[in-house]
Amino acid sequence: MNPLFEPIIDGILTDGYGIADAFLSPGETTALADQLHRRKEAGQFRSAGVGNQQVMVEKAIRGDEIVWLDEATAAPAEATFLQRIGAFVEYINQTCYLGLRDYEFHYALYPPGTFYKRHLDQFRSDSRRKLSVICYLNSNWQPTDGGQLALYLPNPGGIEHTVTVEPVGGRLICFESGRLEHEVLPATRDRLSLTGWLKV
Ligand SMILES: O=C(O)CCC(=O)C(=O)O
Ligand SMILES: [Fe+2]
């Protein structure tokens, strides 16, 4: 049993989502946030798109800016992060037989007032996304800063249950991409994260 990964999988199976509050150490979180800011200053961020090819920029749906991580050009902090995700994928495959074969991650920066309206991560033509993973890079996040992730838990035959998660630095959240609708609420300060998908 892996003490870091097992509770995440357990959460997905029992509650529909799994959380690890210390997926990244404070030092790793800061290093990744610094790297995000470096990439921002280097002009690498682009407005995120919506839809299959992510070609349409629609600020009424989502207002974040993103940069995709590339293993080949990853800074040391990014390589460490991707290695841990690789180990997580391996562990999931050994324990849940999901047959994951690939993963993709991007930084996301939500400037103050921006949001991502309620959505599902699995596009009709991209059913390869099995699990959504978000890792937050915010230091000293307060509930009054906003920016919660709202999860809409389906309840067949009953009333939908909403859970909100604070985007606290070092925290990872994971859920089934094709199953759980969710929403990013507006924040009063920059909201930083690494978001990705584990794919078959
Ligand atoms: O940052 C979050 O909490 C969620 C981001 C999200 O839903 C997405 O990028 O698809
Ligand atoms: Fe999403």
> 32 with 137: CB under 8 angstroms?
yes
Determine the straight-line distance between the first and last CA of the chain, rounded to whole angstroms.
23
Inform me whether the pLDDT recorded for 125 exceeds 70.
no
Q: Is 48 in the pocket of ligand 1 (CB under 6 A)?
A: no
CA angle 27, 31, 36 (to 5 degrees): 145
How far does residue 91's CA lie from ligand 2's centre (Å)? Answer: 23
Query: Taking the domains of the chain in order of start, what are their residue ranges?
Result: 6-199
Mean pLDDT score of the chain, rounded to an integer? 94
Determine the pLDDT at residue 54. Answer: 59
Determine the pLDDT at residue 129. Answer: 92
Nearest CA to 23 out of 185, 164, 196, 200 is that of 196
DSSP string, 17-81: EEEETTSS-HHHHHHHHHHHHHHHHTT--EE--BSTTS-B--TTTB--EEEE--GGG--HHHHHH
pLDDT, tens digit (0-9, with 9 covering 90-100), for 2-28: 999 999 999 999 999 999 999 999 999
Q: Which tokens is 82 given?
A: 């991707």
How far does residue 115's CA lie from ligand 1's centre (Å)? Answer: 9
Kindly list the distances between the CA atom of residue 173 and the CA atoms of 7, 9, 19, 57, in Å, as whole numbers in the listed order: 11, 10, 5, 26
- For the chain, give the percent of residues with pLDDT over 70: 96
Inform me whether the pLDDT recorded for 156 exceeds 90.
no
Q: Is 195 in the pocket of ligand 1 (CB under 6 A)?
A: yes
Closest atom of ligand 1 to 147 CA is 3
> 63 with 114: CB under 8 angstroms?
yes
How far does residue 102's CA lie from ligand 2's centre (Å)? Answer: 18
- How many Cβ atoms are within 10 Å of 167's Cβ, its own excluded? 24
Determine the pLDDT at residue 93. Answer: 95
More confident residue, 96 or 19: 19
Inform me whether the pLDDT recorded for 95 exceeds 80.
yes
| Distance between CA atoms of residues 165 and 51, nearest Å | 25
Rounded average pLDDT over 38-67: 86
Fold assignment, 6-199: Jelly Rolls (2.60.120)
ipTM computed for the complex: 0.99
Strand partners of residue 149:
165, 184
Determine the pLDDT at residue 155. Answer: 86
Inform me whether the pLDDT recorded for 57 exceeds 80.
no
**For residue 60, what pLDDT band results from cuts at 50, 70 and 90?**
confident
Nearest CA to 189 out of 136, 150, 152, 153 is that of 136
Q: What's the one-letter identity of residue 174?
A: C
Inform me whether the pLDDT recorded for 49 exceeds 90.
no
Closest atom of ligand 1 to 64 CA is 9
What is the helix (H) or strand (E) element at residue 181, kind and residue range? strand 181-184
More confident residue, 157 or 180: 180
Inform me whether the pLDDT recorded for 126 exceeds 80.
no
How far does residue 196's CA lie from ligand 1's centre (Å)? Answer: 9
